[in-house]
Amino acid sequence: MSKIDKSALISKLQQLDGLTDEEKSNLIGLLRQHKKYGLVWEDKPEDVEERLREELPVLKEVKERALISDQSDAPNHILIEGDNLEALTALSYTHEGKIDVIYIDPPYNTGNKDFVYNDSYVDTEDSYRHSKWLSFMSKRLRIAKRLLSDKGVIFISIDDNEQANLKLLCDEIMNGLDFVATIPWRKRTAKADVPHGLSQDYEWITCYSKEKFRAGIEKETRKYYTTPDYPDKPWRVHDMTTQRSKDERPNCFFTIVNPKTGTKYPANPNRVWANNEETFQEYYEQDRIVFPGDYEFLNLSKPVIRYWKEDDEKKAGDLYGMVTTSTDLPKEVGMTQDGTKDITEIFGEKAFGFPKPLSLIQYLLKIATPRARKLTILDFFAGSGTTLHATMQLNAEDGGHRQCILVTNNENGICEQVTYERNKRVIQGYTTPKGQAVEGLHDNNLRYYRTEFIPRERTQRNMRALVNAATDLLCIKEDLYQELPIDALRHCEERSNPENQLPVGLTPKHVRLFCDGTKSMMVIYDERAIPYIVRWLNSGAFSQLSTLNSKLKIYVFAPGPYAWDDDFAPVIDRVELCALPEAIYQAYKNVLPKKRNKYADEESTNDVDINEF
């Protein structure tokens, strides 16, 4: 149908009697749809999505569940109890562009009570079974993509029920990312009592990356040399020839000349050099070519190429599917039974069904970031909490400072009784069913949050309520939790209490201050406190509390995007201002579902009119 035909039909639909506004809106929406290639499914609204049309999510810390290490630089891990669509919306403000690795294990939609949609299980007889799953996943993956950092990687576990649909869905949503692979993972040994007599023992891990992905982990068996010319840069050497003839690779059939000695090394016509002359010259300029005689301990007859240990990796490949009892091959990743064993060791019973093994998640983290030790990891289908356990274990092994964020609902008490309890025991230590004491991974902080809500309509009352409720979001955003008392501010007060100024005595209702010695943050809830804050900053009191060279980040209530810059002019060189709740509205605007329009005939593609919050 042409655009002109559609416009005429839309005009007629708007004039029809006997249809409700919502029916007209739905019909016009269908007319505007167009799909060239990919999945087409019936969008099925979720209850949580409908709630987000009217309310905004925030995060509230459950302080009594916080586990705080004695180590001042311990990573702050976060567990969020709530629907993951709500939590992802909140994280779109705190962590857009900041997540380095996402691993999720979503419901597989098997029809066997593993996928709940609007508080009801989706079974195999549901005619909208796949549409519901696709609607459910698409909303979450679109936000997840926004959270990925410039080097971000996402892994998604899946089985045959939705694997093909997931791949097509991700090809659409992850457009612009690099599709890495659909990785096989062997979940079990073969079963005999299966339909068709064919045991499907594998699941799949779909992987996309923001930049060109190179899976690998450092090899531990190679021999490296540390020499006076490279005392802090170990290296090894490798043959520069390849099993190709001069007829197959004529550009690689040439004579290498050592520029220092003039010695010539002609290519073997049946085994030419692995690179052409141009590439060889690049390697030489990078000091990656080693000639005979360069090092006395190397007995060389021809030039070889040098590899630095920091860039040296082994391929990941088939190790995902490897499960072996052979003594000469390592068991790199476990099966579901190993995940069950991990859980049983901690709880003394099978407290969660079909958990992923700890070794699998550790392996994914290693190959995703083989040299990174400080990064942020997210799992918004957290289940039993394996991803956090794997993160802490990996930090303990290599001295890393990885931070993990988990999200799960509390259906059947899973968040409180399994996800939280598992990682609490891992941090504090536990005893196995056999009586073996396992030392805790004490150098970790775990903070527990729940989702709460503020009305979306943008009234003065709701705006102030949002700012008052946003402090925990800001602490997460800045990774800053140490609060200082505001007693130092009080000496700046004017006791006269003139009109439109604060009552006598500043309190945390007006302003709160956070500082950990490396960074600082202030939240001003009442703009009438600004003159006192400016006077306090001018007095030098803050410099006495902190040795920071960085600016004080100030989040201040404002009715719009203007953050009272003129009022802060005397100290503007010492502060960084951000107007709230405008910054939150702008972040949420990108991910929130649309408010219902009277008609769906407007050309605007904005998710929401910001004035309708």
pLDDT, tens only, 562-595: 999 999 999 999 899 999 999 999 999 999 998 7
List every span in the chain annotated with CATH 3.40.50.150.
Answer: 56-178+335-451
Q: Residue 245 has which token pair? A: 């003839």
Digit-coded pLDDT (tens) for 144-164 = 999 999 999 999 999 999 999
- pLDDT score recorded for residue 545: 61
- pLDDT score recorded for residue 603: 38
Burial class (CB in 10 A: 0-12, 13-18, 19+), 573: exposed
Q: What is the CA radius of gyration of the chain?
A: 30
Looking at residues 98-120, what average pLDDT do you find?
A: 92
Beta bridge partners of residue 484, listed in sequence order: 513
Could you tell me the pTM of the whole model? 0.78
Q: Rounded mean pLDDT of the chain?
A: 85
What is the Cα–Cα distance from 367 to 369, expressed in whole angstroms? 6
Is the pLDDT score of 425 beyond 70? yes
What SS3 class is residue 110?
Answer: coil
Looking at residues 500-514, what average pLDDT do you find?
A: 75
What is the Cα–Cα distance from 56 to 185, expressed in whole angstroms? 39
Determine the straight-line distance between the first and last CA of the chain, rounded to whole angstroms: 36
Among 80-89, 264-273, 483-492, the range scoring the smallest mean pLDDT is 483-492
Query: Looking at domain 56-178+335-451, which of 3.20.20.70, 3.40.50.150, 3.20.20.220, 3.40.50.300 is its CATH number?
Result: 3.40.50.150
Is the pLDDT score of 106 beyond 60? yes
Q: Residue 496 has which token pair? A: 């006269």
Pairing of strands 76-81, 445-455: parallel
Q: Residue 336 has which token pair? A: 């579901």
Q: Which of 178, 71, 28, 10 is nearest to 441 (CA)?
A: 71
Between 36 and 187, name the one with better pLDDT. Answer: 187
Task: Please name the residues in contact with 275: beta carbons below 8 A apart, sequence gap of 6 or more.
Answer: 240, 252, 283
Between 86 and 353, name the one with better pLDDT. Answer: 86
Helix axes 21-32, 3-15, angle to 10 degrees: 180
Pairing of strands 403-408, 76-81: parallel
